[in-house]
Amino acid sequence: MGDDTGNMSIYRYGKEVLAYIMGMARNDLCWCGSGKKYKKCHKDFDDRISEMKFDVFKGQVRPPKKIINNRADIEGIRRSGVVNDGVLDLMATMVRPGIDTASLDDAAREYIESHGGIPACLDYEGFPKSTCISINNVVCHGIPSKKTILKEGDIVNIDVTTILDGYFSDASRMFVVGGKTTPEAQRLVDVTRECMELGIQAIRPWGWLGDIGAACGRHAHENGYSVVTDLGGHGVGKKFHLEPFVAHIGKPGTGMLLVPGMVLTVEPMINQGTKKVTVDSGDNWTVRTADGKLSAQWEKTVLITETGTEILSS
Ligand code: MF3
Ligand code: CO
Ligand code: CO
């Protein structure tokens, strides 16, 4: 009894003490909030990370624990995504020449609220509406308005973020008003969608964030387009915008380690002309191409799983 103090206890409890000094004890509740014992939850995960080499010259960093979602979190984001997808499906039925964008926004808000959710954009850092609706040369963050009327041939992005039971899901789609536009505009819409898909296909558990941007950017540039770099994707789930910032250009094998349980958006903004953008000095939100040429964007919320990815909103 008398020796059960100081360093002696290290010898007495051996491995347990060492495990505690180095991190969590095997029988502690896991840091992810699953309620399971550490040894049955994220211990192997942590061991794998601690055995890895991170190359600072490639910007390789460990993901912070707060962006790793447990099963309950993932289920929450998945349920939020079902509502969010429903909003975009509704928008698809409403987009037509002559409709004003405030009417679309009202319908989106009504849909989200009647499904028990909250539109995340409404009052977000002062944003006045429930969705972002961005037409032609507007890159993103277009504010819906009674005065903004869709016309045949416009290319329109509708970006919706739903909060359900505290969980955020975020997605956007492009729509061609009236179903037909110029071949140039249609090609931009199609290639931008391919950029998003290729970015998502580049995601591997235990791969790297830069893999995403490399795939997106390569496809855009090969098609003669520029990639907006002032804005990008983001972690999403328990908050609207979390780490990491997801660039849509990049180098494979660089940046944050991608691990199972991370949820992020891939949302390339691709321009016909310059990648430079301006922010409206009147409303402080509307982002436009600096040269007035067209821009397109698609966005999905993506879960990284043990084996690949699962789309939680699209
Ligand atoms: N949904 C956008 C995104 O993809 C963010 C819009 S913020 C708002 O990250 F305030 F403009 F709504
Ligand atoms: Co969005
Ligand atoms: Co987003």
> In sequence order, what are the beta bridge partners of 34?
none
Cα 172 from chain centroid (whole Å): 11
Mean pLDDT calculated for residue range 261-269: 99
CA atoms 304, 167, 245, 215: torsion sign? positive
For the chain, domains (ranges, CATH) are 5-51 (no CATH), 58-313 (3.90.230.10)
Q: Which residues line ligand 1 (CB under 6 A)?
A: 121, 124-125, 127, 132, 141, 159, 161, 170, 265, 267, 299
Average pLDDT over the chain reads 95
Angle formed at CA 206 by CA 204 and CA 212, multiple of 5 degrees = 45
pLDDT digits (tens, 9 = 90+) for 141-168: 999 999 999 999 999 999 999 999 999 9
Ligand nearest to the CA of 131: 1
Phi-psi region of 275 (alpha: psi -120 to 50; beta: other; left: phi over 0): alpha
The protein residue whose alpha carbon is closest to atom 8 in ligand 1 is 121
- Residue among 84, 124, 129, 284 to mutate when testing ligand 1 (max atoms within 8 A of CB): 124
Query: Which atom, in ligand 1's list, is nearest to the CA of 124?
Result: 10
Contact 140, 150 (CB under 8 A): no
Question: Closest Cα to residue 272, out of 248, 288, 294?
Answer: 294
* pTM for this prediction: 0.94
What is the distance in A from the centroid of ligand 3 to the CA of 47?
31
Question: Contact, 111 vs 160, CB < 8 A?
Answer: no
Going by CA atoms, what residue is nearest to atom 7 of ligand 1? 121
CA distance 9 to 241: 45
Q: What is the pLDDT of residue 7?
A: 47
pLDDT of 9 over the 70 cut: no
Cα(263) to centroid of ligand 2, in Å? 14
Q: How far, in Å, from the CA of 207 to the mean position of ligand 2?
A: 24
Element holding 244 (H helix, E strand)? strand 242-246
Q: Ligand 1: which of 91, 140, 285 to mutate, judged by most atoms within 8 Å of the beta carbon?
A: 140
Q: Please name the residues in contact with 52: beta carbons below 8 A apart, sequence gap of 6 or more.
A: 257
Taking only the tens place, the pLDDT of each residue in 205-246 is 999 999 999 999 999 999 999 999 999 999 999 999 999 999
- Quote the CA–CA distance of 60 and 239 in Å, as a whole number: 24
Atom of ligand 1 nearest to the CA of 231: 9
Those residues whose beta carbon sits under 5 angstroms from the ion ligand 2 are: 159, 170, 299
According to the 3-state scheme, what is the secondary structure of 280-298? Answer: CCCCCCCEEECCCCCEEEC
Which uninterrupted H or E stretch holds 245?
Answer: strand 242-246
Which distant-in-sequence residues (6+ apart) come within 8 Å of 170 by Cβ? Answer: 84, 120, 159, 160, 161, 236, 240, 265, 267, 299, 301, 313
Atom of ligand 1 nearest to the CA of 120: 12
What whole-number percentage of the chain has pLDDT above 90? Answer: 92
First to last CA, the chain: 62
Q: Is 140 helix (H, G, I), strand (E, B) or coil?
A: strand
Among 240, 269, 312, which residue has the most ligand 1 atoms within 8 Å of its CB, making it the best to mutate?
Answer: 240
